[in-house]
Chains A and B, each alone.
Chain A
Amino acid sequence: MLTEAALAPAAGLGDSDYGGTRPRFSTLRSAGHTFLEHRMAVVGLGFLLFVVLFCFVGPLLYKTNQVSANVVVATLPPSGQHWLGTDENGFDVLGRLMLGGQTSLEVGLGAAIVGASMGVVWGSVAGFCGGVIDSIMMRVVDAVLALPALLLLLVLAVIIQPSVPMLIIIVGVVSWLVPARLVRGETLTLKTREYVDASRVVGASRRRTVARHILPNVLGTIIVNATFQVADAIILVAYLSFLGLGISPPATNWGAMLSDGLNYALSGYWWLIFPPGVTIVLTVVAVNYVGDGLRDAFEVRLRVR
């Protein structure tokens, strides 16, 4: 008797569920091997790990007051006491870089997850259902895509009091469109594959077909896109903060630090500008390299080079 498992392909990460001929670890090993071949991706990953440790473990070792301003020590240049100097409020810049990084990374990662999740659900449903449903759902995507994300963010940030969870949601809400289109395109292709037809023939429900056969095969695309969403979210939050609509002080993020520092661009207070600016650039570049590496890792044709 034919079963769904017997018909399943050895595709992507979902193959082991079906007793495919190639064990899952070999796929992961192959992907990992390909990723490691991408040197810049490895460097980027290393840098990201360092940034995460810097932001979340650093404050435990380098303790500073980041709540109450101390204007008596405002805008001090770097010294042994304040390695990166102090800002206009008397906050230690190095400590603030750690605190700001927490927000930037949390929002970046959180928004990427929210955006990717929404995009996956929307795109896979649209692609798999097709027809009128697909048309309607994708026109919604087109309509929202036509609106500048920054404009939407500005409106939302004014209406809603920004906080880290709220920023994750509102940045995520404007970030799901691209993943939705990508997933929908992949789904349209995948659903015509024989193993999907076979799954239907043996009685698999639509939900099961999407969950077991479609999504596992677009996972690579999703992960790669999500890494870019992280970088985009960090930059979007920086935009918002630059426009004065970020989270409320004394909390901060790298974009807000950069924005505040630019008020003193003509004063020679370089330590208020370069640390957050350089950190944003390096982190975004690192995330993008990691995304590149993951793309290579999940692209079957590139696994063996």
Chain B
Amino acid sequence: MTGPTRSAGARRYVSRHFSTKTAIVCLLLAGILASCSSSATAPSTSKAVKPVQGGTVSFAEPPATTPSWILPFVDTTDYSYFTDFDWDWQMWRPVYFVGTPTSPDVDYSESLANKPVFSNNDTTVSVTLKPWKWSDGTPITARNVLFFFNILKVEKLNWWLYIPGSFPDDVKSAKVTSERTIQFQLIHAYNPELISQNDLQSLTPLPLAWDRTSLSGPRGAGSTLPAGTGNGLDMTPAGARRVYAFLISQNKDLAAYSTNWLWKIVDGPFKLSTYSITGMTSLVPNREYGGVQAKISRLTFLPFTSASSEFAALRSGQSIDVGYTSTSYLNQQSALTGYTLAAWPAWAFSDWFINFNNPTAGPAFRQLYIREAMQSLIDQPTIDKYVYKGYAEPSLGSVPLYPPNSWLSSYEKSYPYPYKPALAVKLLSSHGWAVHPSGVTTCTRPGTGSSDCGAGIAAGTGLTFQLSYSNGLPTNQTQALVEKGDFSKAGIVINLRPVTPAELFSLSPTCAPSQSACSWQLMSYQDYTPFPYPFGGIDFETGGVYNFGSYSDPTTDKLLAEAKVASTPSGLSKSFIGSENRILQQLSELFQPTTPYQLTEVLSNLHGVTPQSPELAITPELWYFTK
């Protein structure tokens, strides 16, 4: 199972989490590197510290979020902006666990399955599970994965990670070939990296005991038959829908989370102990878990209404073992005692969405030279240094700079749009604009010629845009004010519109010019975590699910399509780099400094928490106290 931040849908999740620290799936991988060096299953310990068995870890949930969803199948229509999934992923783990402390890639040592095997010219992929067990002692089998896939096929439109044309649309059929192996037949050859990193990571085995339509009624036939057989309610579309409807109904009964027997069957390192709809939730180790056994005896999730209330609790020493702060509060770090601060950078880039369909600003936004001028007015190094105290990374394009990766093209590394106000002025002046620094630059030469303002821009039109951003953190406002000042150097007026995180969340859907929802012009999303394989299709292709600004460029579409199906390394590299460079050159979004997901505060005698996965996953089974 994947955390929301680990794929396309993560765009919303991460954005709000970064700006307001709301719901996000976290599976921390601290300790994995060390564990690889000595033992495949035990967290490493330095010679100076001796792990203590047991102890309760209190984990601060993101602000204003509560664990109000338990089914390891997130429904887009039901999941809330205020839903926290951190706890859920501790009970049900995905087939492929994404993210290590140093990379966004799949960590096969933590995964339920071995590395997928591609065959038949990359049209067939086989997934073989490890011999791990459910908490009730039954083995985790390929049939469990098929159960998930059967539901996914019929409920894909409700699945929060669904992207038309992608998983599961790119799968022709799935069949269980042995107790622990499931084989997927793809509709044609795909880039194996795309499939293994971005598609298969979504699979989450579900217990067959859930293959039912009532709590007390009979289970589906497949549940009672030997693993590997094809029977069960889920094997027909109608049956799968009924099962899903039942599971969703149980999922909505929050008060019964800790008593409902359905949720007691888990395959993750923890199982539910206590649950409160207020957000206070406790997990205890699942001793049947096939991976690393947890050393701590209890993991408690603590809810907070805001980042400031969490920080106040942290400061008062109210038993938070793993909490967070932000760059806004860095100057108050000395007020905390007994904590170690560590930045938690994400596999992400930040941007301002440009609404190309906005009826007022759209014509200006559709001019590349205007986007180039605007990008040239964003002083990422200064913002990083003074606003984020050096914790941010510049966003150069659609491939994140951190962690170091092979996807970053030389063009993106060259930072083609550095801060150059003079260039912005020159670009505007040469296209028929009367530039008025500190005033409003206006179009004086309307028309479609190469030196005119551009199509749809009337004489006298001013470069005035509205920027919506989250008011969740003081640094958001400071950054916006800094950029407002920088844009004024070329006479581009940025009117600031701070909104609540929830309102910003509601602004994001794509829109047609005639819709009232299309009134937004620029929208700041603090961060975005793409798939481990940073394929930009969902964000930049025409009609892409997360192409909120309705950007459309045939060349970009063509290159992205090629990158999706390129199966040879050289072909993949060429098409991927081509699409990456095109996306950057076209500036479909304005790239901004990428801030860390959070600045984690860890109690000094708690170990294994850091470094943290850029895929924002937490692995508390690797955490341990020392005396």
Contacts and interface: CB of A to CB of B under 8 A. Distances in A.
Interface of A: 67-72, 74-75, 88-89, 158, 161, 244-245, 248-250, 260, 263-264, 266-267
A260 B482 CA distance: 16
19 contacts: A67-B485, A68-B481, A68-B486, A71-B386, A72-B386, A88-B474, A89-B481, A158-B503, A161-B497, A244-B500, A248-B496, A248-B497, A249-B496, A263-B474, A264-B332, A266-B315, A266-B335, A267-B331, A267-B332
Given A158-B500, A161-B497, A244-B498, A266 B481 contact: no
A119 to B, nearest CB: 31
Contacts of A89: 477-478, 481-482
A68 B495 contact: no
B357 interface: no
Contacts, number: 63
Contacts of B335: 266
Nearest to B472: A244
Interface in B483-527: 484-486, 488, 495-498, 500, 503
A74 B389 CA distance: 12
Given A74-B386, A267-B332, A69 B481 contact: yes
A250 B484 contact: yes
A250 B488 contact: no
Nearest to B336: A266
Interface in B272-330: 308, 315, 328-329
Interface string B382-403: 1100110000000000000000
B367 interface: no
Contacts of B383: 71
Given A248-B495, A266-B315, A267-B332, A260 B474 contact: yes
Contacts of B471: 244
A71 B387 contact: yes
Nearest to B332: A266
A72 B383 CA distance: 10
A181 to B, nearest CB: 34
B72 to A, nearest CB: 34
Given A69-B482, A244-B498, 14 more contacts: A69-B478, A69-B484, A74-B386, A89-B478, A89-B481, A244-B471, A248-B497, A249-B477, A249-B498, A250-B484, A263-B308, A263-B328, A266-B315, A267-B332
A28 B509 CA distance: 62
A73 B118 CA distance: 58
A264 B386 contact: no
Minimum-distance CB pairs A-B, first 8: A68-B485, A69-B481, A71-B386, A244-B471, A266-B332, A267-B331, A69-B482, A248-B496
A88 B332 CA distance: 14
Contact of A250 (B315, B481, B500): B481
B39 to A, nearest CB: 42
A89 B477 CA distance: 9
B382 A71 contact: yes
A71 B482 contact: yes
Given A67-B488, A71-B386, A266-B315, A249 B481 contact: yes
Nearest to B312: A266
